[in-house]
Structure 1
Amino acid sequence: MKTVLITGANKSIGLETARQLLQQGFYVYLGSRSLENGQQAVDRLKAEGLTQVEAVQIDVSDSDSVDAARAALGAKIGSLDVLINNAGISGGLPQAALKANIEQYRKVFETNVFGVVRVTQTFIDLLQKAPEPRIVNVSSSQGSLTLAADPESKYYHHKGAVYQPSKSALNMYTIALAYELRDTPVKVNAVDPGFVATDFNNHRGTGTVQEAGARIARYALIGADGPTGRFFSEEYDPETGAVPW
């Protein structure tokens, strides 16, 4: 049975991604900053008949927490098939380039960028022991420099001077990581789940968590001939999923 660790999976898109991968036969380690919230999510899934799941306490902004999660999983499994770096924060509003303070930047980057680096580096040994490892970094089309600079872009006027740079940095990390792993079976991609109605954006989104979960799960399931080092947004391009960096 394939295994997957999903960070920030106790609600919204992370929880739906867990649900869909459970339906695909995965054993899911449902990462949650709060173990209590994670267990409540697990109980919901088990009530739906999806039983191959357990909660793992992991705060991606805390090295001790990430190390403890690695030790806990390492005691149970010899390899990890998929890592989905889903945990992220928006940083709140407003996010004006001239007024957002440095602490705002530090807090968002700590989760959205440093957290991904921390978790990936900590779990890479388990991933590399799997036959076809996959890493999915949950990004956003808001991190596309090309689209952010294009007055014709759908979200051109949606500017977040803190959140957007964090996703741009995550995208660059994805490129660097995929390059380093290019001669291995590990495939690494950045995936935009779309503008989804969740508490992350005060339910202003137009997409559903089911659509978002399917987009993320798709790149956890790619085969040996699948892409790596790419950035995908099916909301931007429903046919190919390709989105400009």
Structure 2
Amino acid sequence: MNAPARRLPATAGASAITPIHRVALVTGANRGLGFEVARQLGERGMTVLLGARDMDKGLHAARQLAHLPGEMIAVQLDITRQDQVDTLARWITITYGRLDVLVNNAGGYYHPRTNPVEVDIAPAREAMDTHLFGTWRVCSAMSPLMHRHGYGRIVNVSSGYGATTTSGANCPAYRVSKAALNSYTRTLASELEGSGILVNAVCPGWVATDMGGPGGRPVRDGAAGIVWAACLTESLTGGFYRDGQRIAW
């Protein structure tokens, strides 16, 4: 892990302005899309907390990104466990006193050969606990840190499979849980409107990750749209985007 990012000291004089040092949390950041999102945020000089269920894998990911301008820190986080979510929120409060960016990326359960009639209900429950309730847990725990400073960017990594304008019989657990995530995104955005906290969902498209398989677009391209939403300067909230362009829910 590299040395902590330096914060410029306050100096006398009306023209002296200390830049705001942004702190970001990316869930599921030890590999694939989350890892690339963390890398791109680190390139922008942010302190990035790499959430990982397996701390050893998180530490390995952080070491791989230690050369970036931003500080890379592995944190243990299983978003299906309320105790871990609450512990991390307390640690961020004590250590930084703020959280500026939250990327809810942790997920899975993409099973193309399943269908609604035959699928075991257990994986569907797990998909909901991760994509919907896991995101819900993290947002509820972390949003007070954003309210402190009247600034926040919450990005929920979704999928076109969760759009009501699409249809298909495969991947039912994935489709239904991502559709639920989209609904939660709109609901949360409505609650936080005017607070300085922007909430959006992003579809990264089909990317060549372990989950997506070969043949997809480069991971960096899928991650770029997520990072765009994480670094928004315009007051865009409550939307569904792909590559910075709004798409239908």
Counterpart position of 1:233: 242
Partner SS, residue 177 of structure 1: helix
- Following the alignment from structure 1 to structure 2, what is the Cα–Cα distance between the partners of residues 8 and 199? 13
With 63-72 and 16-25 compared, the bigger mean Cα shift is at 63-72
Distance 1:161 1:92 in 2: 8
Instruction: Please state how far the C-alpha of 1:25 moved relative to its aligned partner.
Output: 1.3
2:48 corresponds in structure 1 to 28
Deviation of 1:161 after TM superposition, in Å, equals 1.1
Cα distance per residue 1:85-105 (max 9 Å; x no partner): 010112535321101122111
| Partner secondary structure for residue 172 of structure 2 | coil
Deviation at 1:32, TM superposition (A): 0.6
2:42–2:68 Cα contact (<8 Å) kept: no
SS in 2 for 1:169: helix
TM-score normalized with structure 1 length: 0.89
**Hey, what's the Cα distance between the residues in 2 that align with 1:163 and 1:37?**
25
Secondary structure at the residue paired with 2:222?
helix
Match runs of 1:1-245 below 5 Å: 1-46=21-66, 48-50=67-69, 52-148=71-167, 159-201=170-212, 203-223=213-233, 225-234=234-243, 241-245=245-249
Contact 1:81-1:131 at 8 Å conserved across structures = no
Q: Say if 1:184 and 1:131 are closer, same or farther in 2 by CA, change over 3 A.
A: closer
Determine helix, strand or coil for the equivalent of 1:217.
Answer: helix
Q: CA RMSD in A?
A: 1.5
Can you give the 5+ residue segments of structure 1 that lack an aligned partner in the other structure?
A: 149-156, 235-239
1:37 partner amino acid: K
Alpha carbons 2:157, 2:201 under 8 Å: kept? yes
**1: distance between equivalents of 2:238 and 2:114?**
29
How many residue pairs are counted as aligned between the two chains? 229
SS in 2 for 1:61: coil
Q: Which amino acid aligns with 2:100?
A: D
Does the CA-based 8 Å contact 2:23-2:48 persist in structure 1?
yes
8 Å Cα contact 1:198/1:205 also seen in 2:
no
Question: What's the CA shift string for 1:21-73, capped at 9, x where partnerless?
Answer: 11111110111111110000001001x34551101100001111111111221
Q: Structure 2 unaligned segments of length 5 or more: list them.
A: 1-20
* Partners of 1:87 and 1:111 within 8 A in 2: yes
Counterpart amino acid of 1:206? G
AA matched with 1:244: A
* d(CA) in 2 for partners of 1:64, 1:205: 38
Moved more, 6-15 or 100-109: 100-109
Contact 2:58 2:74 in 1 (8 A): yes
d(CA) in 1 for partners of 2:201 and 2:160?
10
Distance 1:49 1:112 in 2: 29
Inter-partner Cα distance in structure 2 for 1:134 and 1:74: 17
Higher CA-based Rg: 2
TM-score normalised according to structure 2 size: 0.88
CA–CA distance in structure 2, aligned partners of residues 75 and 92 of structure 1:
40
Identity within the alignment, %: 36
